[in-house]
Amino acid sequence: MHGTQGQAVSIDAGRVMERIGRLSEIGKISETGVCRLALSPEDREAVDVVAEWMAEAGMSVRLDAFGNLIGRLEGEDPGAPAVMLGSHIDTQPYAGRFDGIVGVVGAIEVTQTLKDGGMKPSVPVEVVSFCDEEGCRFNKGLFGVRGMLGRLDDGELERTDKNGVTRREALIAFGGDPARFAEDELAPGKVRAFLELHIEQGPVLEAKDRAVGIVTGISGPLWWTVDLYGFAGHAGSVPMPMRKDALAGAAEIVVGLRALATEDPGAPTVGTVGSLRVFPDSRNIIPEHVQFTVDLRDIDLPRRDGLEARLRELIADAAMRHGLQAEIREDTNSEPRYCADWIMDAIREGAAEMGLDAPELMSGPFHDSLAMSYYCDYGMIFVRCKDGISHNPKEYASAEDIGLGTELLYRTALRLCTK
């Protein structure tokens, strides 16, 4: 049970699963479904439960001004920069039991294991349950972590949910305090590393038949809104060579994007047109205007830039051949954020010690880690999830895989605390 050599398991996987089950009861909407929106009474109830677990694991606990729950286990050198572990416990409205939760419960298990083993880390360990990672209630995510890092935008407290409640009102009711934001910002140099355990929310590990994976980085999305303008006409009378059909042009672009994103089978590039609107949307009118979105992601920014340039050419070419006018508006352009080599090394060592073959993969979705990456070095461990399903009550990760992920989190954290 003690020590970190060989196959012996240090963490208590049963306790981890019990706690995940306990949280799934708060905001439960079906057998496996959960709705625990950020800053709701359910979210607060869950925070109180998690706070108790943190205290039980020997941490001092506080809720900061942004609604983040922070536990701290003192190290031998209390003045040293801390190692921070964590994730989030708020959920989407139609969610499963694991997204975010595994990372918070797993992080508490790490400190509980240290305490149970009578071990004191050489540097402080902090466990954070970040406020409102999902962003579905106020349409902007990563609130708590951005707040802590002084990266909130103007007007964020004035955003309203669909009932007209402002974030300011919800945050105050929750126990946060906008008047104390400045004092709760994390000063530079207070945290040396951030480590997050999370379910993959994709199908890669399952396809590779591996329980856990080592994240290499979070790919930044490029988001566009594209407008194609043609000319409407009677679908029965305008001869084909004379048409300016915006939808025909859009169709070529949709197919072309797919071809670009799949031409290098070894690359993790993904390209998606997820929304498309046709005007006037009538069966016997040639489409005059089509608006669609583009989501292009890659962990390799130069490769993504190259694909972006070719996609622009492809759009210009399709527009020219169909007699259309094309306009591209860039909505988001995030750069990929790479995990720190020294933290990935620590995860690799931990996995090797456990005899685990942990493949390396990038994260398409973003996480609290994305925001933390602008403050300190970070690393992430992924746990396999069934059929890659997430943001859905069908989301599932096995107890065995979660146990392995938590054990790897523990072994990695031990290395980060002492290096």
Return phi, psi of residue 234, to 5°: -70, 125
**Cβ-proximal residues to 365 (8 Å cutoff; 6+ apart), any chain:** 201, 202, 218, 390
The number of residues that bind Zn ion (CB under 5 A) is 2
DSSP result, 244-289: B-HHHHHHHHHHHHHHHHHSSTTS--EEE---EEEES--TTB---E
Nearer to Zn ion, 142 or 354 (CB): 142
Smallest gap from residue 46 Cβ to Zn ion (A): 14
Task: Tell me the closest approach of the beta carbon of residue 196 to Zn ion, in angstroms.
Answer: 9
Q: Is the CB of 99 or the CB of 184 nearer to Zn ion? A: 99
Residues 64-123 that bind Zn ion (CB under 5 A): 99-100
Identify residue 179 by its one-letter amino acid code. Answer: A
Angle between helix axes 101-116 and 41-56 (nearest 10 degrees) is 20
Q: What tokens does 236 get?
A: 């029965």
- Binding residues among 291-350 for Zn ion as defined by CB under 5 A: none
Binding mask 254-283 for Zn ion (x = CB under 5 A): ------------------------------
Interface mask toward Zn ion for 196-235; x: CB under 5 A: ----------------------------------------
Nearer to Zn ion by Cβ, of 100 and 350: the residue is 100
Question: Which CB atom, from 133 or from 308, has the smaller least distance to Zn ion?
Answer: 133
Q: Which is nearer to Zn ion, 248 or 381 (CB)?
A: 381
**Which has the closest alpha carbon to 246: 267, 276, 214?**
276
Nearer to Zn ion, 13 or 142 (CB): 142
Q: Tell me the backbone φ, ψ of residue 397, rounded to 5 degrees.
A: -130, 140
Residue closer to Zn ion by CB (options 39, 247) is 39
To Zn ion, the closest distance from the beta carbon of 50 in angstroms equals 15
* Contact predicate 214/196, CB 8 Å: no
Backbone angles phi, psi at 25, to 5 degrees: -80, -15
CB of 394 to Zn ion, least distance (A): 16
Applying the rule CB under 5 A, the residues between 133 and 172 that interact with Zn ion are: none
State the minimum distance, in angstroms, from the CB of residue 218 to Zn ion.
12
Looking at the Cβ atoms of 71 and 96, the one nearer to Zn ion is 96
Residue number closest to Zn ion, CB atom:
100
CB of 100 to Zn ion, least distance (A): 4
Could you tell me the smallest distance in angstroms from the CB atom of residue 194 to Zn ion?
14
Tell the burial category of 360 from Cβ atoms under 10 Å away from its Cβ (0-12, 13-18, 19+): middle
CA distance 17 to 28: 16
Per-residue buried b or exposed e for 328-340, using 16+ beta carbons within 10 Å of the residue's own CB: eeeeeeeebbbbb
Least separation, in Å, of the C-beta of 202 and Zn ion? 12
Q: What is the DSSP string of 197-227?
A: EEE--SSHHHHHT-SEEEEEEEPEEEEEEEE
- Residues of this chain that interact with Zn ion (CB under 5 A) are 99-100
